A = this chain, B = another copy of it.
Amino acid sequence: MKDSGLTKTSSIQVIDRAAKLLNIMARYDDPISLKILAAEGELHPSTAFRILSSLIEHQFVERDDVGHYRLGIKLLHLGSHVRQSVELRQQAKPIITRLRDALGETVNLTVRENDEVVYVERAISGQMMRVEQVIGSRAPLHVTAVGKLMLAAAGEEECRQYAKRTGLPAYTHNTITDVENLIRHTSQALQNGFAYDNGEAEKSVGCIGVLIYSSTGEIAAGLSVSAPLERRKEEWVPLVIEAGKRLSESLGYFG
């Protein structure tokens, strides 16, 4: 049977109904009865009852001693998970935007996933010729500025294991493909507090990257500015380091 008649896309009715019930419960401070839920959800009581029973099984809903319903603990768990991701991007967005405006080039935020960095946020340069990464796309650690810093922070042994796992494939003539060279290079970069990518991932593209730390001192992300190599400037380094510092502080890191 049709619900409200007009469905934007070919949605799944049961999910629509479950979402509606969850939203109703969110409007009340206290647990509410099946009768109210069914009425406000415009559902038959037996339908509401079964949907709620399913949601209870997965801890999205709880039922108290008098049979009233409220939102369940699983939403707290999943919500906390969302917060971590959202907070990083929300804290980063204005800082990334300001840095992009100051330098006039694209600025990216990445997080490490296994042997790659993933682009999770960005501010794109307004210039016609610019570097642009797709959010969600990935790059191997050893060919990116921030990835090299992440490797160095993980230690020499981890560097060797990474080299073994991946074989350090060359992406351009400038890619570092020798493990000893990679270790020397990344260690130095970590000591400097920033790293370069000198056309190592892509010909003619240069980056300056720094690490972002969370309140627990762990690496939360990487921040980098990317530009055509001939436009990249050494004097950007302190600005990138400062932006990284501010973002780390906004996440509660003061090391």
Contact = CB atoms under 8 A, between A and B. Distances in A.
Contacts of A50: 10, 12
Contact of A30 (B51, B111, B134): B111
Question: Considering residues A15, A64, A68, A70, which has the most beta carbons from chain B within 10 angstroms of its beta carbon?
Answer: A15
Question: Considering residues A31, A54, A55, A68, which has the most beta carbons from chain B within 10 angstroms of its beta carbon?
Answer: A54
B136 A29 contact: no
Interface stretch (A36-44, A81-89, A159-167): A81-89
A154 interface: no
A57 B136 contact: no
A11 interface: yes
Given A8-B57, A60-B19, A136-B65, A29 B83 contact: no
A66 interface: yes
Contacts of A19: 58, 60, 74
Contacts of A8: 57
Interface in A49-75: 50-51, 53-55, 57-58, 60, 64-68, 70-75
A121 to B, nearest CB: 10
A54 B18 CA distance: 11
Interface residues of A, number: 52
B12 A77 contact: no
Contacts of A75: 75, 78-79, 81-82
Given A14-B12, A30-B113, A72 B76 contact: no
Contacts of A216: none
B64 A15 contact: no
Given A12-B51, A29-B111, A57-B11, A77 B79 contact: yes
Contacts of A14: 12, 14-15
B64 A135 contact: yes
5 contacts: A19-B74, A31-B136, A71-B78, A75-B79, A78-B79
